[in-house]
Structure 1
Amino acid sequence: MIHSRKIWLESMFRIADPVLESLSNRKLKELMPVDSPLVGRETYAHLEALGRLLAGIAPWLERKQDGEEEVLRDKYAVMARQAIDAGTDPNSPDFMNFTEGGQPLVDAAFLSHAIVRAPQELYGQLEPRVKQQLIECLKKTRRIKAVPSNWLLFSAMVEAALYMMGEEDFDVMRVDYALKQHEHWYLGDGTYGDGPHFHWDYYNSFVIQPMLIDIHLTFKGMYPDWDSAYEFVLSRARRYGAVLERMISPEGTFPPVGRSLAYRFGAFQLLSQLALMETLPEELDGGSVRCALTAVLQRTLAGEDTFDENGWLRIGFCGNQPDLAEGYISTGSLYLCSTLFLPLGLSSDHPFWSMRDAPWTQKRAWSGQSFPLDQSVF
């Protein structure tokens, strides 16, 4: 209940503070360590940290709160706008890479997702100079070719943000191609392939389904075929959200399956998004989902040496486990975990936060309680 929200807020601040405090003072490149199994990731790590962090905390920044929490929200919203300025100003020591290599497209998309989730706080209240900087930086990523995978959604998400910001020259074909290809890549029972093939990993939640949903919602009413497809996109997302909830053990652990495990509880972005949208699967209620995600949050952050001595996240799934890093992982990548915090965009008196504590599916199952049968979808 309210105690859960306090836990979430404290955890969010702990993760966000080093990034936003450094960027708001234009000292991110000076202060942020860049750990990675490959050399050269500092070229990308700073935009990774900014885009991924803001993608998770954007809904909380966008919604005014009450009392002390509103004071904090306003403080962090100011720092977030300063961070966007620092990262997109060519004269800033923290000016970020939007052009070199392929990776900038990925994290420009996460930054774009943040803007779509918080259009007033992360775009509307920017100074005109910063708005133009941001638009120019996002447009520069158009020169990066998206590989035939979830990357198509990165190109589409950048276009969604540009459209939301009033840019009339958004590329409708990048959006249409991403949506149509993912329809072709749907494999059944709420799961899309990452490209034409199935992968055992959490990319349906890290990227695919959250971006599909928000791209559709951004362009709602533009094309009848996009609108008619959304019904299926949402139905599949709800099914995948139900599967995610069943992944959470009675102890708050979840299976370390697939790549990018260093994103930690970012694996539950889609379940968090469904809670934010007030469209959880019918068999789930907000109280049990809140308790399940709180258990995951606490269990994961309890890992030894999750943070370094200056508060930066370390590579790992539960604690400091640098051997778990694929070559594309760096310190900046880790901030995708912030996407668990999406339900903080609901008011503190919303039923998600005010409902009584309740056991989640596995907790009910392994304690001998009744629990809903699992149902597949087409």
Structure 2
Amino acid sequence: MSNSNADSTHPPPPPPQPSLTSLPDDIILRCLVLVPRIYHLNISWVSKHLRSLVRSPELNVLRSTLPKTKSSLHVCFEEHSTFHWFTLTTTTEEYGFVLNPTPFPSHPNYGSSTVVSVGSKIFFIGRSKEPSTDLWILDTRTGNMTQGPSMSVPRVHLQAAAGVIDGKIYVLGGRKFDAEVQVEVFDPESETWELAGAEIVRKIPWSGASVLEGKVYMVEYGETNVYNPREGGGQRMVNMASQRLSEDDGSKVTFTDMAYHVCVVKDVLFALFSQTGLMWFDTKLNVWRNVVGRDGKELVISRVRAMSEYDGRLAVFTYIIPADRLRNLNAVDMKRKVECMLVSLDRAGEKICGTIDWSGIVATVPVRFKPQHCLAVSE
């Protein structure tokens, strides 16, 4: 009798729920292939079995069968108002890369405009020395440069920011600071502009802008500002004082630093600051955090002249001057070597780890060559 009462008050525990690891390996691999690579490091900590599958050649083979858009990385150098375009290409199955000349026609707007890419086309917006409503479109497949319809608001590119959301180009600012300026949206399909309300770009977005989660992020000196076109009747532009997170005690510190390069890789915003180095933006805490290496220490990348997303990794270009030429920097025949680093980025718990997969010299250019643009386009 007592046993019966005990059984009624303490029902048997429910059967254990099936886990991912209880499935056959081929099914687990088909699940893992849909997970972005940036989370693979976290997955590898769950169990030794999942770690082996994440690192297995079978997963790489399965990933290669997924449909994906092939992209090319285009780099533009300026030399005394003459522009030289190069394309980063793979020479072998390993990480061998070279910069090859691309036959684009010369055009003054190459070095004087705010620049974004949509598909295989590059769009040059406004000018640098005087406000302009210009829009020029470069088709990287054919090399043709054509003029598009003019904007309503003349803009100066050093004061303007642009980002691509759902295939449309949003252009902000470009006039006086702390003044409301109409946001304009360009539809490349219909080649038409439309107005999207007035907003204030408070400071110079030297580093340009990048789009993350359908929002335009402008990383300015001491501020990180976000424009959300889907906010509706609410506040579309949010201005935040830039804060960095101390990885030691979790405290937040306001900092003022200049970001020279900004891009998004695997749905994470990265910026290279002049003093604080390579950092990523934590959208949950609204703070900047250092990218670390596998050893947990800050990943140091210096002398960066250009930076962009490329094939799911961070492509970083630096200049190297041969030691025997440092004594004569004004020589007419002075050359610089352009080094490329391909950095894979993985989440490790709440941190992001960077690993330099490959680095090497991709070109030797005259010392007068100055990088103007570095951006990926779809082929």
Relative to total residues, which structure has the larger strand share, 1 or 2? 2
Using the size of structure 2 for normalisation, the TM-score is: 0.27
Larger radius of gyration: 2
Relative to total residues, which structure has the larger helix share, 1 or 2? 1
Which structure has more RCO (C-alpha within 8 Å, separation ≥ 6)?
A: 1
